[in-house]
Structures are given as C-alpha cells and as structure tokens.
Amino acid sequence: MATETLTIGKALNVGLRRALENDPKVVIMGEDVGKLGGVFRITDGLQKDFGDQRVIDTPLAESGIIGTAVGLAIRGYRPVCEIQFDGFVYPAYDQIVSQVAKMHYRSRGKLRIPMVIRIPFGGGIGAVEHHSESPEAYFSHTAGLKVVSCANPQDAYVMIQQAIASDDPVVFLEPKRRYWEKGPVDVDAPLADAYPLHAARVARPGTDATLLAYGPMVRTCLDAATAAAEDGRELEVIDLRTLSPLDLGVVYESVRRTGRAVVVHEAPSNVGLGAEIAARITEECFYSLEAPVLRVTGFDTPYPAARVEEEYLPDLDRVLDAVDRTFGW
Amino acid sequence: MAKGDPGSTTRSRRAAPRSRKGAVGDPELVQLLTPDGERVDSVTGPDGTVYRVDFTDEEYRGLYRDLVLVRKLDAEATALQRQGELGIWASLLGQEAAQVGSGRALRPQDMAFPTYREHGVLYCRGIDPIMPLGLFRGVDQGGWDPNEFKFNMYTIVIGAQTLHATGYAMGVAMDGRTGTDDGEAVIAYFGDGASSQGDVNEAFVWAGVFNAPLVFFCQNNQYAISEPLERQTRIPLYQRAAGFGFPGVRVDGNDVLASYAVTRHALDNARHGQGPSLIEAYTYRMGAHTTSDDPTRYRIASEVEAWQAKDPIARMKAFLEKQKIADADFFAEVDEQAKRESVHLRERVLAMPDPEPTSLFDHVYPNGSPLLDQQREQFSRYLESFEGSAH
C-alpha cells in the first residue's frame, strides 16, 4: 500500500491521470486544460502525456464544451469537462439541465451520458466577482444529474475516478479554497473496494450535536468541532459528499443520538441544500429533535466583494454560535 | 431507394453561377429541377463545385414515392392533432424535398441530429413513422434507438443539437473514421431561427477549429414561428460559413435532386476529412409553425401562393411525366400506398396505450436513485389506496 501526502489539487490530478490510463474513452476538455494544466493546475502534465486528442483545449464557450461533450458521450466517449470557475457555468446551464440531464430519461435508457462536469466552487480566495459562487442547488434540483463534492485528498483522488466510471452525468464540485490542503492518499487502493461515491460519511464522531457539511465547509466544521471539544462539547461532523442524491441515513442515525443538527454551506440559505436537509431530518427524526434544524450559510445576497467575503462566509464562530442556539431552545 | 451519383467533386469555373432573387440579398441557388419540372444537367456552386445527379428511372421514382409518402403521413398527423389525438404537431409541409433529398444522401454509416420537424429524414432513416407521433401524442419523449438508426432523438431546444452533432463528429474523427470512401460523416439539422442561437454559432466555431466531419443543414423555411428571416440575419445565411472558415452553399430546398446532390457532396467531403460545411436549403414552411400557430396573423396569402408554385412534389411529378419516367398507373399506385400507410398509421396511433403511471420514474438515472425508489414506492401505495373505491 502506497500512501502519499498530496494536496487536494494534486490528488485530483493523479486521479484524472489514473482515469485516462484505465479507460481510453476518457477525454478531458475545457479552457486552458492543456499546456497550462488548468488555471488551478488540476490537469497539469496530462496533455503532455496523453496528447491533445485526450486532453483538449477548447474554444472559450461553456455551452460548447458541454454540448460537444454530449455528442462525444453519444459516440461512446467519457468526457470530463472542466468549467474554469463556478460563475462561468451558467452559459452551459441549458445544455446541462435540458440536454445532459434528460437524455437518458427521454430515450428510455437507450442513450447514456457518462459525463463529469468538474467545477471549482466556493469562495475564500479573494477573487473578483463570478469566481466564488456555490451553484450546487441549481444542479441538485435537476433530475437526471448527480452532484458530489469532495473535502479531502483521499476523497478527491477516489471520487473523481468513481464519477468518471459512473454511467450517470455527475457534477463534481471541487472546493477551490481547499485545493492546497494536504493529506494522506492511498494511491494503490482498488477502486472497487473504495467507499461508495453516493454515500455520506462521519468525518468526526461526537455525541452532543451534529454538523452537516460538504466541500469547503467540512474543514470549517472540523475546526469548529475541535474548538467545541476544548469547551467540553463533542460535535459530530458528517461529510455529506453526495448532494444529489442525498445520503441521509447516517445523518438520521446521528441526529437521533444527538438531537441537534446544524447544516453549513457557503451558498445562500434561501431554497438551498440546507432547506431540503432540514425538511428531511424533520420528517425522519421529529421526535428526537431537541431544537429546530439550524442553517449556517452565506447570505441571500450576490457573492460580495472580496474584502467582505469573510463576513459572508460561514466560519468557525458562526457555526459554534448556531450550535449554542440549538442548546438554548 | 435512390442512391444516385454523388455530386461531382470536380471544380470548374466555366459555367457561371445562376442568380435568383430571394428574400435576402440575391442568392445563388443550386437547382437541378426547375419549378416547371425541367431538368438542369449540372450547376456550379459559389465555390466552383459542379453539382449533378445521375439517377436511374427507378431511383427517380423512388424519390417521388418518398416525397408523396412523407407528405401524406404528415397530413395524417395534422389531422390526428385536429381530432384531439395528438397534443401538437409540427408539420413539414413544403419542406419534403429538402428532407428527402438530404435524408437519402446520407450513407448508412452517417449520423443525423434532427430538430423536431425532420419527419422526412426520419422516414429515410428507416424509422417507423409512428415514432414522432408518440412524442407529440405525449406517450413518450424519445422513441427510437438513436444508435441503431443513426438518427438522434428530436431536439426541441432550438439549436442545441448542433453542438451534439459537432461533438459526435469530433468523436468520429478521434476514432479514425474519416479519410476514406467508407468514412463516417455527421449532419446537423436546424432552421433559420436557430441560426441566431449561441449554440449554433459555437458549433460553427468548434466544427471549424476541430475540422469536424460535419454538415450543417439549415432549412431556411423563411419563418421562426412568426418572425421572418430578416429578423435573424442581414446576409444570406449560407454566407455566414465564410466567417467561420468553411464552405457554404444555398440550395433550392424545394428541389429534391439538388438537395440530394449538394448534401451528398458535402457529406463525402466531410467523410474524406475535408471538414465541415454549411448548406442553406432555401424553402418555405407552407403550413403553420405547429398546429398551435396561426400564420395568417403574420404573412400574406400571395406570398404563400408564390411558394405554392414552387411545390417540390408537383415539379417532380411534372419531370417524371415529361420524361416518361412514370405513368398514370405509377402515380395512382403511389397515392394508393400513401393512403394505405396513413390509414395504418392512424389505426396504430389510436391504439397507442398510455404509459403506466409509475413508469414516469423509470430511466431517470442509469444506476437508479434511492430518492426515486422511495417516491415510486410511496406513489404506488398511494395509487393502490384507491383500488376498490369509486374514484
């Protein structure tokens, strides 16, 4: 077993390399993914080793990236599309929602679109506007798409390969501000034995309240749990990992034990993932709840200017404040 | 069925291009059969390509049969909609020659990406003509197997399929399936309205940049619902190709022979690795946009009458009669076949069962979803709760 210490970004890079090696039908396409290796270097070195027919620099048109990937998928390829930044996915929105998501359904299973749409998402990097958004609710709301997000290097390495191997179209949300976080990655573990793609997982066990997060907010919640432990309060942190479909069995089990749940995401609260999760917890765990399910989220504003994004983004203190409120009920 | 001779690939500038007046500019129209049914031996396109066909008498009769059958089945579908058996119907009336000509120009290995009006191409691909009626009746949203018939599902979002066709064509090239006589080519259908869509223009960019083996086949039927061509463009549509770096040609879309010749030539260029091209099939939507539309609100009768004189079937019939390629018995037999098939179509449409209610949960995902499993199970129990009640 070869365990290496990799950043999330590098783990994705190695995972993509593995996918290209294992399946000649896998092609990577996007803006600047070739020589440059992507603006975040996630595809670094791949075009050099696999050629420009498999790692394709595309014209600058997102609808074109996704629309041509649909055709490639019908032809039998497995396109992995990179959308350079979250805020640039909207020109491709029609192709994703009206075409990618519906092909299998409309054809009664005759056409499969085994496509992965990689999107670096979320804020916290001091970027100019349109570079820090969290569009997961749009895609989770769309039947026919699956939506996942990784939160650590091991998951990044495994989940990107699982998403590519899946016959479903998968929107793969990468926590861009965590790209540089390091952790151990077992690069030899067989994919078949890996933890399932569409399954949530306890990231830190606890007994007093349950924190629910995905992508970049998992780290925030883990830090909050560490801080809470110093105050004698044990918070369980669940990394949801899959946003569509949600996998809430482990969540219900946790909330029935703790009686308290706080959902944390960067996206605005209004009609967001937190609303759906709170509703389902209420349906399934009503008699176990000691307090309403609370949400700690970005505000219902456009993503703000970088100098105030730390105020916009949920952080350790806002998470712990919400936990405190669940105990004050 | 008509196989014919591909448009000659020889290039010559000896014959001067024909000029005809059109709605925009002064279009050069490739035409091999005049509205009066006179054959033109060959015609030179704007880039010097000489177009001609050399069909056997049987092939000429085959094309005529296709045109008549396609129009009759389409008329039956319109009637079925008027009688409440279809929710809506998008008639191809007037566009039969563009569709049969291009559809018959496809070789078996070629892949087509239609809009929602390509019933004539669908027919040429050998798909049961009842399939689109299922779509418009509301019992299905797809129907045929796109890979089996090399004809993708209908696409209703305007222009979206041109990108799918481009990606598919890129895949053909990546598979090494171009550069030979038996190579593959792809055709993308769209209309004059779609030419304004971003997706279509992105497809032009992509196809040019990647030299995709693709023919863009634009049926310019002069109207996008109510909006005339002038609301989409200020130059003839085929001239747009030049800006994207590939050839464009305008063909008489009411001329099945020219539509065939131009499409076959463009497809063969594509399969030989010479990249994309744009065909503007200049035609006219004789009917409404769909059965929900009322074209009398936005166009005048004299315009429709002028196009009536260019009818694709009448000119083919006149040609067959003049050249004594077909006689009255043949025309009667074709009409009889068309009638028979349309009656059969009607019977089968009326017998189409509605889908089972819980089938709406099928095929959302290839690998299923726990959420849908739960909703299906809950909905089934809900339905079962009515069993035995009067409701």
Q: State the pLDDT at residue B5.
A: 47
Q: What is the pLDDT of residue B391?
A: 55
Q: What is the Cα–Cα distance from B96 to B30, expressed in whole angstroms?
A: 17
H-helix or E-strand spanning residue B373: helix B370-384
Between 3.40.50.1100, 3.40.47.10, 3.90.850.10, 3.40.50.920, what CATH number should domain A201-327 receive? 3.40.50.920
Considering the domain architecture, whether residues B390 and B307 belong to the same structural domain is answered as no
What would the mean pLDDT of A194-221 be, rounded to a whole number? 98
User: What is the token pair recorded at A326?
Assistant: 């669940």
B146 in contact with chain A, both atoms CB, cutoff 8 A: yes
Cβ distance B51 to B80 under 8 Å? no
Give the mean pLDDT of chain A.
97
What integer pLDDT is reported at residue B390 of this predicted model? 63
Q: DSSP strand E in chain B: where?
A: 43-44, 50-51, 111-113, 186-191, 214-220, 223-224, 227-228, 248-252, 277-282
Beta bridge partners of A148: A172, A242
Task: Tell whether B282 and B380 lie within a shared domain.
Answer: no
How do residues A114-138 score in pLDDT, each as one tens digit? 999 999 999 999 999 999 999 999 9
Nearest-CA residue of chain B relative to A58?
B206
Q: What is the 3-state secondary structure (H, E, C) of chain A?
A: CCEEEEEHHHHHHHHHHHHHHHCCCEEEEECCCCCCCCCCCCCCCHHHHHCCCCEEECCCCHHHHHHHHHHHHHHCCEEEEECCCHHHCHHHHHHHHHHHCCHHHHCCCCCCCCCEEEEEECCCCCCCCCCCCCCHHHHHCCCCCEEEECCCHHHHHHHHHHHHHCCCCEEEEEEHHHCCCEEEEECCCCHHHCCCCCCCEEEECCCCEEEEECCHHHHHHHHHHHHHHHCCCCEEEEECCEEECECCHHHHHHHHHHCCEEEEEEEECCCCHHHHHHHHHHHHHHHHCCCCCEEEEECCCCCCCHHHHHHHCCCHHHHHHHHHHHHCC
**Do B284 and B378 belong to one domain?**
no
Contacts of B170 in chain A (CB under 8 A): 68, 71-72
Average pLDDT score over residue span A150-164: 98
Fold match, A3-190 / A201-327: yes
Spans of chain B, pLDDT less than 50: 1-27
> Are B173 and B263 in a shared domain?
yes
**Could you tell me the sign of the dihedral formed by the alpha carbons of A39, A44, A47, A50, in that order?**
negative
CB within 8 Å: B364 and A58: no
Residue A308 banded pLDDT, cuts 50, 70, 90 = very high
Structure tokens at B373: 């499993």
Nearest to B163 among A71, A79, A109 (CB): A71
Looking at the structure, tell me whether residues B193 and B304 fall in a common domain: yes
CB A284 within 8 A of CB A293: no
> Which of A55, A68, A170, A284 to mutate: most B Cβ within 10 Å?
A68
What is the least distance, in Å, from the CA of A225 to any CA of chain B?
Answer: 30
Structure tokens at A41: 């270097």
Same domain? For B346 and B364 the reply is no
Say whether residue B350 is in contact with chain A using an 8 A CB cutoff: no
Total tally of structural domains belonging to chain B: 2
B363 touches chain A (CB under 8 A): yes
B163–A70 C-beta distance less than 8 A: yes
HSE of B140, CA atoms in CB hemisphere, 13 A? 19
User: Where do the domains of chain A lie?
Assistant: 3-190, 201-327
Q: Which residues of B are catalytic?
A: 285, 289, 298
Cβ–Cβ below 8 Å for B160 and A247: no
Residue given tokens 């070789």 in the structure block: B107
B145 touches chain A (CB under 8 A): yes
Q: What is the pLDDT of residue B142?
A: 87
In this prediction, residue B367 carries a pLDDT of 86
Q: Is B142 or A173 the better-scoring residue by pLDDT?
A: A173
Q: How far is A305 from chain B (nearest CA, A)?
A: 30
Task: Return the pLDDT at A1.
Answer: 67
Whether A58 sits inside 8 A of B206 (CB atoms) is yes
Distance CA A140, CA A300 (A): 18
Q: How far is A106 from chain B (nearest CA, A)?
A: 5
- With an 8 Å Cβ cutoff, the interface of chain A facing chain B consists of 27, 53, 58-59, 61, 63-64, 66-77, 79, 91, 94-95, 98-99, 102-112, 143-144, 146, 166-168, 245-247
- Please indicate, yes or no, whether residues B228 and B376 belong to a single structural domain of this protein: no
Q: pTM of the prediction?
A: 0.95
Domain membership of residue B62 (yes or no) is yes
Please judge whether B153 and A112 are an interchain contact, meaning their C-beta atoms are less than 8 angstroms apart: no
Distance (Å) from the C-alpha of residue B361 to the closest C-alpha of chain A? 9
Mutate to test the interface with A, among B202, B360, B371 (most CBs of A within 10 A): B202
* B306 and B231 together in one domain: yes
For residue B163, is it within any domain?
Answer: yes
Q: Tell me whether residue B197 is in a domain.
A: yes
- The verdict on B240 and B132 lying in the same domain is yes
Among B157, B165, B171, beta carbon nearest to A94: B157
Taking contacts as CB-CB distances below 8 angstroms, the residues of chain B near A69 are 167
Domain of residue B316, residue span:
43-350
Task: Compute the distance between CA of residue B222 and CA of residue B27 in angstroms, rounded to an integer.
Answer: 14
Do the chains contact at B205 and A64, CB–CB below 8 Å? yes
The phi, psi pair for B375, rounded to 5°, reads: -65, -40
* Chain A partners within 8 Å of B203 (Cβ): 64, 67-68
Is the CB of A72 less than 8 angstroms away from the CB of B202? no
Residue A325 to residue B345: CA distance in whole angstroms: 67
Q: What is the CATH number of the domain that holds B58?
A: 3.40.50.970
User: How many beta-carbon pairs under 8 angstroms link A with B?
Assistant: 133
Q: Is A152 left (phi over 0), alpha (psi -120 to 50) or beta?
A: beta
Question: Does B32 reside within a domain?
Answer: no
d(CA B250, CA B242): 13
Architecture per CATH, A3-190:
3-Layer(aba) Sandwich (3.40)
Instruction: Judge if B238 and B253 occupy the same domain.
Output: yes
Cα gap A115→A25, rounded to integer Å = 11
Q: What is the pLDDT of residue B387?
A: 84
- Return left, alpha or beta for B324; rule: phi > 0 is left, psi -120 to 50 is alpha, else beta: left
Q: Is residue B150 part of a domain?
A: yes
Contact A135, A228 (CB under 8 A): no
Residues of B in contact with A108 (CB under 8 A): 140, 142, 362-363
Indicate the helix (H) or strand (E) that contains B92.
Answer: none
Phi-psi region of A37 (alpha: psi -120 to 50; beta: other; left: phi over 0): left
Domain closes at, from B318, B333, B350: B350
B335 touching chain A per CB within 8 A: no
Is the pLDDT at A66 greater than 60? The verdict is yes
**Model confidence pLDDT, tens digit, residues A10-23:** 999 999 999 999 99
ipTM for the predicted complex: 0.96
Question: Which residues of A are part of the catalytic machinery?
Answer: 131
